[in-house]
């Protein structure tokens, strides 16, 4: 499934009807709507924490670039892929800006 494109002015936020539990650097997320469990680790956990309030892709990218010393273009590409995957599973909402 191709990830849908996220506009630059869009905000992403964790969906509702989810439960989560963090163990060390792993995170288990339960989607209550379909009863499926998901796992995130390392950087994914950091991204998830940033998603708890509506935030732009650029904001997350900037946080990751400063915290993990990764190359911005590559980071944004991987981040968009992750967000697209999360959105396709109903774990993240994408609110397009005007």
Partner 1 sequence: MIRAWRRFWALSTGDRFLLVETAILLALIRIGLRTLPFTTLRRLLVSHLAPVSEPGPPRTGEDRRRPARTAGPPPAGMSVPERVAWAVGTLAHRLPGPTSCLAQALAADTLLRRRGHSPDLHLGVRGRPADDPGGLRAHAWVECGGMVVVGDLDDLPGYGVLSAPER
**What residues line the site for partner 1 (CB under 8 A)?**
14, 17-23, 26, 28, 30, 32-35, 37, 39, 41, 52-53
SS3 (DSSP) at 4: coil
Cβ proximity to partner 1, 37 vs 97, nearer residue? 37
**CB of 24: closest distance to partner 1 in angstroms?**
9
**CB of 76: closest distance to partner 1 in angstroms?**
24
- DSSP state at residue 71: -
Cβ proximity to partner 1, 76 vs 86, nearer residue? 86
Q: Which of 13, 12, 48 is nearest to 27 (CA)?
A: 48
Cβ proximity to partner 1, 19 vs 81, nearer residue? 19
**CB of 65: closest distance to partner 1 in angstroms?**
24
The alpha carbon dihedral of 68, 51, 88, 94 has a sign of: negative
Could you please report the per-residue DSSP string of 5-24?
Answer: P--TT-EEEE-SSEEEEEET
């Amino acid at each position: 499934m191709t990830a849908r494109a996220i506009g630059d002015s869009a905000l992403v936020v964790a969906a509702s009807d989810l439960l989560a539990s963090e163990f060390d650097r792993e995170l288990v997320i339960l989607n209550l709507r379909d009863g499926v469990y998901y796992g995130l680790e390392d950087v994914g956990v950091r991204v998830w924490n940033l998603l708890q309030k509506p935030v732009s892709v650029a904001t997350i990218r900037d946080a990751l670039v400063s915290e993990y010393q990764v190359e911005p273009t590559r980071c944004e590409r991987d981040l968009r892929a992750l967000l697209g995957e999360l959105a396709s599973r109903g774990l993240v909402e994408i609110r397009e800006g005007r």
